[in-house]
Amino acid sequence: MIKALVVKKTRELAPKSHNLAYLAELAALELTGEQSVFIAILMKYQMEGRYPDYYPKMPALEVIHDYLQKSKTLKECLRSKL
């Protein structure tokens, strides 16, 4: 969704980047401090797809549930900007 917002803002294809903070900046998203921190956390866990030898430490189950809820909230926030 962040890449879609980049396209909406710039009227150009989004760059081939997985850096969510960079993409959010390009999209001129006004994120809260908590949202900015959270997208940095998300980036840590998506890196395994790009770098198979990178294995971040698995968070506790309670933290995983918290991340899931924050992801849903962020998704709805981004969707409202589309």
Amino acid 80: pLDDT: 96
Largest CA distance in the chain: 41
Q: Which of 24, 16, 13 is nearest to 78 (CA)?
A: 24
Rounded to an integer, the average pLDDT of 29-42 is 95
Amino acid 26: pLDDT: 97
Kindly state the helix (H) or strand (E) to which residue 20 belongs, with its residue range: helix 20-26
Amino acid 20: pLDDT: 94
Numbers of helices and strands, H then E, in the chain = 4, 0
Domain containing 71 equals: 2-79
Amino acid 12: pLDDT: 97
Domain count, the chain: 1
Rounded to an integer, the average pLDDT of 12-41 is 95
pTM value?
Answer: 0.84
Amino acid 48: pLDDT: 64
Q: Which of 15, 66, 8 is nearest to 37 (CA)?
A: 66
- Dig out the tokens for 81 from the structure: 């900007």
